[in-house]
Structure 1
Amino acid sequence: MRAATVTRFGGPEAVEITEHPMPAPGPGQVRIKVGAAALNPVDAAMRSGVFGGDGPIGLGFDVAGTVDAVGADTRWSIGDRVIALATGHHKPLGTHADYVVLDAAVVAPAPRTLDDAHAATLPLNTTTAAQALNLLSLAPGQSLLVTGAAGGVGAHTVELAHRQGLKVTGLDADNHEGFLLSRGADHFLPRGQRPPAGGFDGVLDAARLGPEALAAIGDGGAYVGLWPGQEPRPERGIRVDALSVRADGALLTELSRLADRGVLQARVARTYPLHAAAEAHTQLAEGGLPGRIVLIP
């Protein structure tokens, strides 16, 4: 089978399509025939060597597809449509492949209302948003600033925070105001405008503003970033955390149901065939797309 891997770190040209033996599921595992797999900024970070590592490294965290083989002690059946999150920065094979074998515990039913391409945009970004909100631990009625609010994680954070009864302000480029208000933001701040000092109970800093985002939090509030090691130093009693996302099939099952109910909107900006993964990485580096790039085997 084919997979997108890197054996040397670099730009999009470092992405190779390599051949591998067909993986077989062990006890408690399933094999998924990949229908679609989203491309995320973390894949570009892996490709460029941000996380280091030796030997071939497989790319891809998100997958939507069909179970085509099962190991012992699993509840899944051949033919089930599923989505899943495959975490890890140094895995030899990721989801940018024809097939992927995963622990059954990280797999969830695919949203019935979405095709594979749209469903594949959900696992990493929605799980990250849900776990970040849990880490912030804000109560209904409290105020949340989301920086980079129109991005994959940011937009789903806005949607879930609105559902939890938080007062949400989204910060991003001017052209995203209408979209964010439609997804549940109560207020909008244009990029470049400094948030009011101490004006929020918590911040999800998807845009990596660091100290500027911290300054927007009131004394004793909470800050969560998405890149461990890059969070600002705590001050004024503010609790500072950075999320390391964890695959969670039970959580992803609930998020899949929320997508079917329209709470979470899946956005596909463009699709590429798997063999054009390097070209897709080039497009990702250019930025500015309203949604995720998705690879189709």
Structure 2
Amino acid sequence: MTEFGGPEALHLVDVPEVHAGPGEVRLAVRTAAVNPTDTHGRNGDYARMAGGEPEMPWIVGMDVAGVVDEVGPDGDGRLAEGDRVMAIVVPSGSHGGYREQVVLPAASVVPVPAGVDFPAASSLPMNGLTARLALDRMELQRGDVLAVTGAAGSFGGYVVQLAKADGLTVVADASELDTGLVTSLGADVVLPRGEGFAAAVRERYPDGVDGLADGSVQGAQVLPAVRDGGVVTTVRGYQGEDADHELARGVRVLPVFVRDYGQNTEALDRLRAQAEDGTVTLRVADVLPAADAAEAHRRLEAGGVRGRLVLSFG
């Protein structure tokens, strides 16, 4: 974007060539996933939060797949030119995933899962790492019960699958149309999504669940599902500011920001391995030309997309 706004603010621009510095690699980007986070970058929410005069053009996009075409000095030898890779991008100014060429810390880049194409690979890093971070911050133990909202979405779906791999019992929400999908992801209990979710959880677990990953950003509405002293992880920065009663019960509300795992090579490579062995399912809704990014944002904001929309750079 050269100015913030609706989907129409997205358009093609030329940017200068970039080169890999020490500890960095450059990717020839083949695909970039489209996420709700991107829409908040596009409309200026994140720039306003950061303050100051935003750098233009502003390029969004947090996960990419492509080919390493330049390796900077002082690397660890893990990556080489020609490697097929996926990566997480922490965008800022013109540094974002929606570009043909991007320089990244080598620590943010791992090989694509074996047998996986670029569109599917680019759907994993940001949402997968956010899910991994959410679970790590909760520090639940095998056998504990985790509730998940937004379980049919990409973040929520990965939370369900990774939680099951961690030995947790998962109770998830779903619409009637998504019940089969969420069940197939491994949820032990699937309850109707919406305002009654917390009450339905308490019917199944009268003392409340041990933890909750709030992927659908329901905030105070779902905190009653959690037991006294339990833990909630949230996206979009929610900290329970409107939930004094729940905080008084000792419920901890922990916002998660994927940038904290932006250079966690071990976590990203673990996701690669879990995609290879089928622990996590990569779901691509559609692939569009990069020039149609505005249409991808319109479709995403209209709702109902299951899996990731992906932009192709050819």
Q: Establish whether residue 217 from structure 1 lines up as the match of residue 230 from structure 2.
A: no
| Deviation digits for residues 254-286 of structure 1 (CA, Å, limit 9, x no counterpart) | 100100001111111011111111111111111
Aligned length: 291
**Aligned match for 2:255, one of 239, 242, 246:** 242
Which residue number in structure 2 is paired with residue 20 of structure 1? 15
SS of the aligned residue for 1:141 comes to coil
Alignment correspondent of 1:55: 55
Residue aligning to 2:180: 178
CA contact (8 A) 2:55 2:93 kept: no
Counterpart residue number, 2:51: none
Distance 1:175 1:169 in 2: 17
1:172: how far off?
A: 2.2
**Whole-Å Cα distance in 1 between the matches of residues 248 and 222 of structure 2?**
12
Cα deviation, residue 218, structure 1? 0.5
Contact 1:156 / 1:264 at 8 angstroms: preserved in 2? yes
> How many angstroms does 1:42 deviate by?
0.3
Given candidates 70, 79, 84, the residue that maps to 2:82 is: 79
Q: Work out whether residues 231 and 242 of structure 1, in 8 Å CA contact, stay in contact via their aligned partners in 2.
A: no
Q: Which runs of 5+ in 2 are unaligned?
A: 49-53
The verdict on how the C-alpha distance between 1:99 and 1:155 changes in structure 2, with shifts beyond 3 A counting, is same
- Displacement of 1:231 in angstroms is 3.8
- Kindly provide the amino acid, as one letter, of the partner of residue 89 in structure 2: A
CA contact (8 A) 1:143 1:202 kept: yes
Could you tell me whether the CA contact under 8 Å between 2:173 and 2:197 is conserved in 1?
A: no
What is the rounded CA distance, in whole Å, between the counterparts of 2:102 and 2:229 in structure 1? 44
Q: Secondary structure at the match of 1:18?
A: coil
Q: Take 2:234 and 2:104, find their aligned partners in 1: how far apart are those partners?
A: 27
Q: Deviations over 1:58-108 (max 9, x none)?
A: 1111011110111112221101111110114x3322111111100111111
In the alignment, the residues of structure 1 paired with residue 146 and residue 165 of structure 2 have an alpha-carbon distance, to the nearest angstrom, of 13
Are 1:30 and 2:25 counterparts? yes
The one-letter code sitting in structure 2 at the alignment partner of 1:49 is: G
Mapped to 1, the partners of 2:248 and 2:303 lie a distance apart of 33
From 275, 286, 289, the counterpart of 1:270: 286
TM-score, structure 2 length as denominator? 0.90
Q: 1:61 to 1:237 in 2, by over 3 A?
A: same
Q: Structure 1 pair 230/14, CA: closer, same or farther in 2 (3 Å)?
A: farther
Identify which range, 27-36 or 186-195, moves more after superposition: 186-195
**Larger strand fraction of residues:** 1
Q: Which moved more, 1:116-125 or 1:55-64?
A: 55-64
Does residue 7 in structure 1 map to residue 9 in structure 2? no
Unaligned runs of 5+ in 1: 1-5
Match of 1:3 in 2: none
Matches within 5 A, 1:185-264: 185-192=187-194, 193-195=196-198, 196-197=201-202, 198-229=207-238, 231-232=240-241, 233=243, 234-245=247-258, 246-247=261-262, 248-264=264-280
How far apart are residue 16 of structure 1 and its match? 1.9
Contact 2:239–2:254 (CA<8 Å) still a contact in 1?
no
Structure 1 stretch displaced more, 42-51 or 151-160: 42-51
CA distance in structure 2 between the partners assigned to 1:235 and 1:176 by the alignment: 34
**242-251 or 109-118, which deviates more:** 242-251
Alpha-carbon deviation of 1:230? 5.4
* 1:148 paired to 2:157: no
Higher helix fraction (1 or 2): 2
CA root-mean-square deviation: 1.3
Q: Percent identity?
A: 40
The alpha-carbon deviation at position 163 of structure 1 amounts to 0.7
